[in-house]
Amino acid sequence: MKGAITALITPFTAKGEIDYDGMRKLVRWQIKQGINGLLALGTTGEAPTIEDSERAGIIKLVVEEANGKVPVIIGTGTNCTKDTVRYSREAEELGADAVLVVTPYYSKPTDDGIYLHFKSIADAINIPIIVYNIAGRTGRNIDAPLMKRLSSIKNVEYVKEASGSMEQMMQILRQAPKLKMYSGDDCMTFPLMSLGGVGVISVVSNIVPGKVAKMCEYCLRGKYEKARKLHNELLPLFKAAFIETNPIPIKAAMMMAGLPAGGYRLPMCEMQDANKEKLKNVLKELRIIRG
C-alpha cells in the first residue's frame, strides 16, 4: 500500500440517493488511470451522511470493481468505539484490505482513551489499521509520543497525517518508525515523501489520478526533480480543491469535468458562485476542462 490512494467522493443522484452506476464508473476510471489504491467512506466520501443500509453496497461495489488490482481501504472511524468496531468488522468481512480510523471526534478523549479506542478495534479485526490524524476536524491531535504508543498495537501499521505540521510528521517518522506515513494533505505530499512518507490519501486524485500517482511514483523511485515539477504544476489545484470545505470543491470540479459526482448531502451544500468561478479558472489553466 504505497503511492497515491484516492479518497473517493460518493456520487449522488438528483434525488440524493447513492449513484452506484456513477461510482462504478469512477472506480473503473481510477484504476485505468493508474491509481495505486482506493479509499471509500472517508471524509471526501461524506461518510457521516451515509446510512448504515448504504455502507455495505458501497463497500461491495468498490471491492468487486478493484478485484485485487489495487488495495481497497474503508473509512470506519466514528467517535463511538462500539460503532467503529462494528463498521471495521463489516469492512473486513466484505473484503477490504485495510480500514482508516479517524481520531474520535467531539468527545476529545484523553491519550489513554485514544489508545484504548484503537486497541479495541485492533482486537476485533485482522486487517491493517490506518490512524487518521486530523485535529482540525476532530479537536484532538495525536502527537508523536502517543503515535509511538499506538504503533505498539499489532495491526496499527499506517498513519494518515493531516495535522499540517511538518515538524510533527518528522517527529512521528523518527519516534514511530514502524508506522508507514501517508500525507493527508495533497500540498504536503512531495515534501513528506522526500522525508520518508510512502504516499498520499488524496482528494485531487479524484480528478487527476494519473498525475498524482506519477508524482508519488517519482518520489518512491528517488526521482525528486520530476516529482517536484508535477508538484508545482498541480499546486494551484491543491489550493483550489480546498477553497471551501472538502468535498464541496472537488465534487464541483468533477461535475465541471463531466465526471459522476452529483450534489451533496446536508450539511454540505453547493459551492458559492465566486469560488466556483475561481475553481473553474484553475481547471482551465491546467487544461482539465476547456475554456
Q: Is the peptide bond before 247 cis (omega within 30 degrees of 0)?
A: yes
Mean local confidence (pLDDT), 145-160: 98
Residue 204 makes CB contacts below 8 A (sequence gap 6+) with: 186, 212, 234, 237, 238, 241, 250
Fold classified for 3-221? TIM Barrel (3.20.20)
| Residue 97 clears pLDDT 90, i.e. is over it | yes
Which pLDDT value is given to residue 63? 98
Name the residue type at position 222. Answer: G
- Nearest-angstrom CA–CA distance, 10 and 45: 5
Q: In this predicted model, what pLDDT tens digit does every residue of 46-87 receive, in sequence order?
A: 999 999 999 999 999 999 999 999 999 999 999 999 999 999
- Nearest-angstrom CA–CA distance, 76 and 65: 20
Mean local confidence (pLDDT), 186-197: 97
Q: Is the peptide bond before 267 cis (omega within 30 degrees of 0)?
A: yes
- Nearest-angstrom CA–CA distance, 72 and 6: 10
Do residues 75 and 47 lie in contact, with contact meaning Cβ atoms separated by under 8 Å? yes
Which pLDDT value is given to residue 103? 97
Active site residues: 132, 160
| Residue 166 clears pLDDT 80, i.e. is over it | yes
| Residue 291 clears pLDDT 90, i.e. is over it | no
Residue 156 makes CB contacts below 8 A (sequence gap 6+) with: 118, 122, 128, 129, 131, 150, 179
CB atoms within 10 A of CB 28: 12
Task: Give strand pairing partners of 183.
Answer: 161, 200
Which pLDDT value is given to residue 95? 98
Which pLDDT value is given to residue 38? 98
DSSP state of 270: P
Which pLDDT value is given to residue 180? 98
Given pLDDT bands bounded at 50, 70 and 90, which one contains residue 112?
very high
Q: Is the peptide bond before 11 cis (omega within 30 degrees of 0)?
A: no
Name the residue type at position 116. Answer: L
Q: What is the mean pLDDT of the chain?
A: 97
Residue 281 makes CB contacts below 8 A (sequence gap 6+) with: none
Secondary structure in 3-state letters for 103-126: CCCCCCCCHHHHHHHHHHHHHHCC
| Residue 288 clears pLDDT 90, i.e. is over it | yes
Q: Report residue 151 as a C-alpha cell.
A: 504503533
Which pLDDT value is given to residue 143? 97
Given pLDDT bands bounded at 50, 70 and 90, which one contains residue 148?
very high
